Amino acid sequence: MKPVSLNQRPGVTVQADGASVLLWAPKAKQAAIKLGDTNKEIPLQQQEYGYWTLHTDQLKAGSLYQFILDGQDPLPDPASLSQPEGVHTASAVVDLAAFSWTDNGWKNPKLEDYILYELHAGTFTSESNFAGIETKLDYLKSLGINAIEIMPIAQFPGNRNWGYDGVFPYAVQNSYGGAEALQHLVDACHSKGLAVVLDVVYNHMGPEGNYFGQFGHYFTDKYHTPWGNAVNFDDAGCDAVRQYFIQNVLMWFRDFHIDALRMDAVHAIKDFSPVHILSDIKSALNDLMQQTGKQHYLIVECDLNDTRFINSQNQGGFGMDAQWIDEFHHALRIAAGGDKTGYYSDFNGLADLAKSYNDAYVYDGQYSPHRDKLFGVKAENNPGQQFVVFSQNHDQVGNRMLGERSSELFSFEMQKLMAGAVLTAPFLPMLFMGEEYSEPHRFMYFVSHTDPELAEAVRKGRKAEFAAFHAQGEAPDPMAQDTFINSQLQWQLPQQEPHQTMLAFYKELITLRKTLPALRNLNRQGTQAIADEATQTLILQRGSGSEQVIVLMNFSKNPQTVTLPEAQSNWKLVLNSASARWKGPQAEADTLPVSGTVSLQPESFLIYSAS
């Protein structure tokens, strides 16, 4: 049987004549709502399947409230929209319909046109909030990106956190500015022509402030995740839990005008229901889009190389629009000279990078030594816009012991080459905040738990995780404010060298990505990558007919000679990363002769166009 109020968002919803309350608490025999700091309690009315409801004129926007179950201590609302004083205290009523939007004419770009920029609201600027992001929108627009991806903003303990320890999926982090400030940011982004992607976490919930188990069967013991109890998507009592997350998805799109969601680690979502929760979410989103006429996308992080996640529902898939593809990143890092430790041990660098260009997945059915099993399926029929690629992201930087960025690990020339590898790929490119000007500040792991025992456990756990790396130094204290401050971008740097040149280089690359038809078109059938491991060079050819682009990459530390394909006689050089213009070693101007063979400078690439 289906739970009641399928189309109603859980929690408190402001209406013209008061507010409606919807609470799922199947474990309770009695439930009441406590108003503000008073002792006044209003009983809730019990409904089917563990739901409790109330309509009252004693709640309005800004009102503080808590729930009391069976006379026990008051608890915050599991579907709270605001936790103004943190995760352990009263929830606050928010009227999501009160914001005055100005984006009626906004149209979400086609997914294949997305150029993504991942950022963290707390460290993107020194203001550490949404208002700070707004001050940089003109900068982002001039860079050439058209979609910002914001790391999770669900309420977490304290003011400092990556966001993956959020415990109130509906509440916008108070220190970032809360719900209205997020709406204001999205509205401002749309006015600048920028789409907004929001990172959400549906595979687990953080430990501190997690009161869900006192309300109902939000978790299951059938499965486990590396980060906490598994969310109950297919066990007893799961119907209401599924609706809780479906309504959360719809809220972001409907009430916050978010353009796309990036769902964290969906491989850790365990669901053996006849209809997977992701497919249910897709169906609900399709209904919303039909009602509003607006376009939204669902992008997943998935470590399974399983096309079921991104295949359409008509094909028996879950219907996700795109996925992150870590394997491209791993192969690129090894090709660039990175360490082959941990999950990188499965990758052989240049050959695997060429395979990712050609096949998306590196592992699509062969044996994986790291996993000790055959892994993956082929993704032959999935277009390029279904894969998001990058040379670094929050995970791959911040999960290093010291949080070093590419700017610290690779040479200036190699950083340009890695940027070229991403921005010429037949997939959706994503930058990580600051990489476009070679930000040297590390992006470290940080939290601000208010529970002393939990804080100490996190410290010890981080040290234990990297005990084998003691020669590199101590793992930074994730609780220390300096760890957070030293992870913030330094906005004076883009006006200084060599950062200014790197920024100009990224702008040029992004412009080429947008203007050359062979780069903009993500039809993978026109892609061919060939690696020469002996010379550490890679030839990437894209396009079809007369509109073609060829990218010649040299990952070695020595000059190399490569031969241009003979299919075109009118190749025109459009970018030379080794040019003196980009502080490279090549003194002559960007008009290299084309005579069939081309000399490549160390750690450099050339882009030729034929049209």
Q: What is the pLDDT of residues 282-299, one digit of tens each?
A: 999 999 999 999 999 999
User: How far from 387 is each of 321, 444, 543, CA to CA, in Å?
Assistant: 9, 26, 18
Flag whether 327 is marked binding: yes
Flag whether 395 is marked binding: yes
Q: Inform me whether the pLDDT recorded for 81 exceeds 50.
A: yes
pLDDT of residue 2: 41
Provide the b/e sequence for 17-43 (b: ≥16 CB within 10 Å). Answer: eebbbbbbbeebeebbbbbeeeeebee
- Nearest C-alpha neighbor of 609 from the set 478, 507, 512: 512
Flag whether 118 is marked binding: no
Residue with tokens 């929001």: 198
Is residue 469 helix, strand or coil? helix
Flag whether 249 is marked binding: no
Same domain, yes or no: 392 and 466: yes
Q: What is the mean pLDDT of residues 566-582?
A: 85
Flag whether 326 is marked binding: yes
- Nearest C-alpha neighbor of 40 from the set 56, 16, 27: 56
User: Per-residue confidence at 7, pLDDT binned at 50, 70, 90?
Assistant: confident
Confirm whether 577 is domain-assigned.
Answer: yes
Same domain, yes or no: 462 and 531: no
Tell which of 95, 128, 144 closes a domain. Answer: 95
8 A C-beta contact, residue 365 and residue 374: yes
Q: What is the pLDDT of residues 350-363, one digit of tens each?
A: 999 999 999 999 99
Same domain, yes or no: 125 and 49: no
Tell which of 64, 95, 126 closes a domain. Answer: 95
| Residues 179, 84: Cα–Cα separation, whole Å | 11
User: How far from 609 is each of 191, 220, 508, CA to CA, in Å?
Assistant: 34, 55, 15
- Total structural domains in the chain? 3
User: How does DSSP classify residue 586?
Assistant: B
| Residues 408, 489: Cα–Cα separation, whole Å | 14
User: Per-residue confidence at 561, pLDDT binned at 50, 70, 90?
Assistant: very high
Q: What is the mean pLDDT of residues 245-257?
A: 98
Q: In what order do the strands lie in the sheet with 18-24?
A: 11-15, 18-24, 51-56, 45-46
Same domain, yes or no: 468 and 568: no
pLDDT of residue 569: 62
Confirm whether 232 is domain-assigned.
Answer: no
Same domain, yes or no: 57 and 141: no
| Residues 178, 172: Cα–Cα separation, whole Å | 5
- Nearest C-alpha neighbor of 63 from the set 37, 85, 88, 36: 36
Flag whether 267 is marked binding: yes
Tell me, what CATH number does 69's domain have?
A: 2.60.40.10
**DSSP H or E segment with residue 13:** strand 11-15
Same domain, yes or no: 131 and 258: yes
Any catalytic annotation for residue 436? no
Flag whether 328 is marked binding: yes
Q: What is the DSSP string of 113-133?
A: G--EEEE-TTTSSTT-SHHHH
Tell me, what CATH number does 553's domain have?
A: 2.60.40.1180
| Residues 66, 600: Cα–Cα separation, whole Å | 66
Q: What is the mean pLDDT of residues 73-87?
A: 97
Q: Inform me whether the pLDDT recorded for 592 exceeds 60.
A: no
Q: What is the pLDDT of residues 375-427, one digit of tens each?
A: 999 999 999 999 999 999 999 888 888 899 999 999 999 999 999 999 999 99
**Least confidently predicted of 28-32, 358-362, 415-419, 453-457:** 453-457
Same domain, yes or no: 341 and 424: yes
- Selecting among 199, 264, 280, 413, the annotated active-site residue is 264
Flag whether 447 is marked binding: no
User: Per-residue confidence at 87, pLDDT binned at 50, 70, 90?
Assistant: very high
Confirm whether 176 is domain-assigned.
Answer: yes
| Residues 35, 266: Cα–Cα separation, whole Å | 37
User: Per-residue confidence at 597, pLDDT binned at 50, 70, 90?
Assistant: confident
| Residues 204, 201: Cα–Cα separation, whole Å | 7
Q: What is the mean pLDDT of residues 490-509?
A: 98
User: CA dihedral in degrees (238, 244, 246, 252; nearest 10)?
Assistant: -160
Flag whether 470 is marked binding: no
Is residue 484 helix, strand or coil? helix
pLDDT top residue among 325 and 399: 325
Provide the b/e sequence for 460-490 (b: ≥16 CB within 10 Å). Answer: eebeeeeeeeeeeeebbbbbeeebbebbbbe
Flag whether 394 is marked binding: yes
Same domain, yes or no: 444 and 311: yes
Q: How far is residue 560 CA from its own chain's centroid?
A: 37
Flag whether 384 is marked binding: no
- Selecting among 187, 301, 359, 435, the annotated active-site residue is 301
Confirm whether 6 is domain-assigned.
Answer: no
pLDDT of residue 591: 47
Give the structural domain span for 588.
526-610
8 A C-beta contact, residue 205 and residue 167: yes
Residue with tokens 């989103």: 285
Confirm whether 281 is domain-assigned.
Answer: yes
Flag whether 266 is marked binding: yes
Same domain, yes or no: 250 and 348: yes
Q: What is the pLDDT of residues 133-142, one digit of tens each?
A: 999 999 999 9
Same domain, yes or no: 406 and 360: yes
Q: What is the mean pLDDT of residues 175-196?
A: 98
Q: What is the pLDDT of residues 515-553, one digit of tens each?
A: 999 999 998 999 999 999 999 999 999 998 888 999 999
pLDDT of residue 462: 75
Tell me, what CATH number does 280's domain have?
A: 3.20.20.80
CA atoms within 13 A on the CB side of 142: 8
Q: What is the DSSP string of 255-296?
A: HH---EEEETTGGG----SSS-HHHHHHHHHHHHHHHH----
Same domain, yes or no: 426 and 530: no
Q: Inform me whether the pLDDT recorded for 442 exceeds 80.
A: yes
Same domain, yes or no: 365 and 447: yes
What's the sign of the alpha-carbon dihedral 372, 378, 382, 388?
positive
| Residues 298, 319: Cα–Cα separation, whole Å | 8
User: Per-residue confidence at 208, pLDDT binned at 50, 70, 90?
Assistant: very high
User: Per-residue confidence at 3, pLDDT binned at 50, 70, 90?
Assistant: very low
Confirm whether 435 is domain-assigned.
Answer: yes
8 A C-beta contact, residue 208 and residue 87: yes
Confirm whether 588 is domain-assigned.
Answer: yes
Any catalytic annotation for residue 264? yes
Q: How far is residue 31 CA from its own chain's centroid?
A: 37
List all residues 6 or more positions away from 562 whose beta carbon is below 8 Å from its beta carbon.
532, 535, 537, 539, 552, 554, 597, 598, 600
What's the predicted TM-score (pTM) here? Answer: 0.96
8 A C-beta contact, residue 208 and residue 157: yes
Flag whether 265 is marked binding: yes
Tell which of 486, 502, 518 closes a domain. Answer: 502
CA atoms within 13 A on the CB side of 261: 25
> Which tokens in the block code for residue 559?
């000059």
pLDDT of residue 567: 55
Confirm whether 191 is domain-assigned.
Answer: yes
pLDDT of residue 278: 98
